[in-house]
């Protein structure tokens, strides 16, 4: 693979207007690598697209006015982290861009960038709803992995991740010498 352009970097002088410009640059970067990243992920056995489709970004920077400060900060931090990781990949694999681990890291950078773009313009309410939706999916996946690893249902519930319960650890049950909990 040819070395692609670098993702953008959000400086410490970033304002919502410059953040919007950086998100647009990130959007162009992800779109240029989207198909490649999914082909590489599929080649390595992933059946679902690693990099999701991203909606068109709003053209006007004012669209960030409804976004909460924590979300703006999260987008800013993630843009910086993506670029820092991409630079690390460049330094580490500059003589071996076809290495499987290098390709994996590149695909992961593109995937994270796509998720940043999918979430960057969400209002606080929509972002919270999306987090709950993904949290529910992740909880089911975690329970499935724990059960496949031999954890009992009671132990999983004691750890605070059982189905239909709030995420709180039941310390009395967790440290109870009852054999069934193990």
Contact criterion met (CB below 8 Å) for 105 and 85? yes
pLDDT digits (tens, 9 = 90+) for 126-169: 878 877 776 666 666 667 656 765 666 766 666 555 555 544 44
Q: CB burial class (10 A; 0-12, 13-18, 19+) of residue 41?
A: buried
pLDDT digits (tens, 9 = 90+) for 5-37: 899 998 888 899 999 999 999 999 999 999 999
Query: C-alpha distances in angstroms, 165 versus 39, 97, 123, 133, 174?
Result: 38, 46, 27, 15, 15
pTM (two decimals): 0.71
The residue ranges of every structural domain in the chain are 1-122, 124-182
Half-sphere exposure of residue 7: CA atoms within 13 angstroms, side-chain side: 33
pLDDT digits (tens, 9 = 90+) for 40-60: 888 877 766 778 888 899 999
Nearest one of 164, 36, 163 to 110, comparing CA atoms: 36
DSSP annotation of 42: H
């Amino acid at each position: 693979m040819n070395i692609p352009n670098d993702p953008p970097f959000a400086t410490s002088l970033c304002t919502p207007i410059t953040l919007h410009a950086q998100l647009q640059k990130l959007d162009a970067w992800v779109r240029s690598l989207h198909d490649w990243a999914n082909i590489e992920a599929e080649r390595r056995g992933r059946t679902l697209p690693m990099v999701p489709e991203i909606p068109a970004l709003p053209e006007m920077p004012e669209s960030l006015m409804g976004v909460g400060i924590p979300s703006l900060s999260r987008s800013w931090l993630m843009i910086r982290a993506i670029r820092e990781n991409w630079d690390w990949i460049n330094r580490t694999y500059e003589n071996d861009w076809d290495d499987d681990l290098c390709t994996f890291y590149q695909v992961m950078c593109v995937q994270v960038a796509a998720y940043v773009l999918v979430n960057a313009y969400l209002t606080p309410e929509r972002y919270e709803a999306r987090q709950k939706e993904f949290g529910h999916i992740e909880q089911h996946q975690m329970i499935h992995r724990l059960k496949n690893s031999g954890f009992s249902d009671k132990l999983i519930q004691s750890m605070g991740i059982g189905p239909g319960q709030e995420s709180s650890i039941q310390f009395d049950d967790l440290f109870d010498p009852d054999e069934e909990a193990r």
